Amino acid sequence: MTSLVADARVTVAQVTEIISTKLSVETINACINTAHYLVDAKLASTGLGADLLNTIELWLSAHFVAIRDPRAESESVAEYSVKFQGRTDMGLKATTYGQQALALDYTGTLASMGLQKATLNMI
């Protein structure tokens, strides 16, 4: 059973206000914990205010919930097709929730994650 970390900025109730899901409380806790660790590691020292860090952690939590419980982008009745949002190679852009977290982070820290650094070797 996954417990919520003691210093998490958001709760399951807050996350489920912005994303509906049938995931268990334990799974949502795991998503919140992941978002919390990411915010602490990458954003806590950037100078963003506490309220903004809370809000980013909320949207990141919803992003991780959406990854575990994908959102339908389009549905069809005939032949029963469903297309899900995003692709795994899209990172935080894969869900509207991750996109919101990116928009809130005006430092660009989240947007720069996963970008390859260029190297130049002189001969």
- Residue 27, helix vs strand vs coil: helix
- The whole-number pLDDT of residue 71 equals 63
Cα dihedral 2→93→62→83 (10° resolution): -100
- The whole-number pLDDT of residue 80 equals 66
Helices (H), 1-123: 12-18, 25-42, 50-68, 96-104, 109-112
What pTM, to 2 d.p., does this model score? 0.82
| Residue 38 identity | L
- The whole-number pLDDT of residue 28 equals 98
List pLDDT tens digits, range 63-92. 999 999 976 655 556 666 555 555 555 789
**Among the listed residues 16, 79, 5, the one whose alpha carbon sits nearest the alpha carbon of residue 40:** 5
